[in-house]
A and B are shown apart, each in its own frame.
Chain A
Amino acid sequence: MDALLMFFGMSTEVPTVWAFPALQREDLDDNPQLQQVFDKVLPLLAERLVGVASPDEFEIALDTMLGEQLIGDAYGLMVDLGLSAERPAIDLHAELRPEVAQFLGEQAAAHLKAHRRDLTGALVAVDSLLQTAPKEALEQARVRRPLDWFVVDENIPIPVRRLALAWTYGAVCAAVGGHCIVNRHRVPDWLGVLLAHHIATGARQYLRYCASLEGSPVRGLVPPEDLLPLADFEQQHGHAMWGLRLSVLLHQQSGRSVSRLFGESSDGDDE
């Protein structure tokens, strides 16, 4: 379970920002660390996404940003500040602030409201993780690297990579949403909906993942049918990785410059 534990570490870094859409400018006055995040880091994340002209452009910008070291560094700074700041108590019954509808749009607010349980549940998961995660796991969270590093990590089962991608999108979108609200910047409705969709999906997947870990304190927040068979993922993945190694050996032994998976032949009908 090493890979999952490492992941467990990474996961702590991400959703701390999910609370951002609920913040107001006044909340920052007595929190200089948070203020630094909003003044210096979030504009860097937000400027790329807020300026896009279409959903397609948004998708490309978001995927491109995730692979950039500069964005990873900015995000890492935010994590550092977030981890050292005092964490507010989480109210499981908290309501969305009206500013969300004002700056992200009514549809976005309705979507977030519908997923309120996942959002607050994810924050509870982060909070309990920060208290219980091993020190090494928390150190992993501070490593500065592109935010999508896990996508190509062959130690991590693919279903887990997909979950992590969802919560990483969610974390970046939450940071951007928070930036817009604090700076009173109204985004087009379609962009608000996209941000809300990623925030809610990310929170849900993060919560499912945390709840599925053995002995998780948040297991009760997720219906049993939504829990993930993480141990099965790990076992199947290990098996496939062994197959991969064997297939590379087969390729080497073939002596050919190009060979197909399992030495299969081409259909010959490809265009």
Chain B
Amino acid sequence: MNRALGPRDAIRFHHENKPRTGVVLSVDVESGAIIVVYGTRTAKERPCLFVPHPSPTATMLDLNQPTYFYAENIVYLQRDATFKVVGRSPPGAFCSLQELWILRFTPNAVRDLATRVATEEIATAIAAAKANSSA
């Protein structure tokens, strides 16, 4: 059974049919959504947190090879997702991961999000109204 997760927990979970090691960035209090950034072995020309192996950070995250954490590998999991806690991120590495994440919320990105959330809310409301009228 999952214990209550918190930011900085390092977890192992399955995503896109692969085992992943990730760090919990945040847990949304209202919805219980868990926001995780997972690591990969693939080097790319993009901003990332690189964790060499061996290193103190790799030990604390239970990584067994050099690992890259990219902002595009941030995923939102439902509260009932299956995972195993394998470690805890060092505070400095956690700040770096949070920076990767938060830097994505540029003014343009936030404006775009606001539009999409509003549009989807309207769409949901219209669909609900249609369902009610046909019932």
Contacts and interface: CB of A to CB of B under 8 A. Distances in A.
Interface of A: 56, 59-60, 63-64, 66-67, 148, 151-152, 154, 158, 161-162, 165, 237, 239-240, 242-244, 246-253, 257-264, 266-271
A203 B110 CA distance: 36
B81 A257 contact: yes
Interface of B: 6-8, 15-16, 18, 26, 28, 30-31, 33, 35, 40-42, 54-56, 59-60, 71-78, 81, 88, 90-92, 94-95, 98-99, 101-105, 107, 109-110, 112-114, 116-117, 120-121, 124
A257 B117 CA distance: 18
Contacts of A237: 102
Nearest to A54: B56
Contacts of A268: 16
Given A67-B91, A248-B35, A270-B16, 4 more contacts: A63-B60, A63-B92, A248-B76, A259-B76
A60 B59 contact: yes
Nearest to A59: B56
Nearest to A268: B16
B6 A243 contact: no
Nearest to B40: A270
29 contacts: A56-B55, A63-B56, A63-B90, A63-B91, A64-B60, A148-B91, A152-B7, A158-B102, A161-B95, A165-B91, A237-B102, A239-B105, A240-B105, A244-B26, A247-B105, A250-B116, A250-B117, A251-B33, A253-B121, A258-B15, A258-B76, A258-B78, A258-B81, A260-B74, A261-B72, A261-B74, A262-B109, A262-B113, A270-B16
Q: Is the interface of B mostly helix, strand, loop or mixed?
A: mixed
Contact of A162 (B59, B95, B114): B95
Given A243-B110, A260-B76, A269-B42, A253 B91 contact: no
Contacts of A161: 95, 98
Nearest to B76: A251
Nearest to B24: A152
A193 to B, nearest CB: 17
Given A59-B56, A258-B81, A261-B71, A250 B113 contact: yes
Contacts of A64: 60
A239 B107 contact: yes
Contacts of A151: 8, 91, 94-95
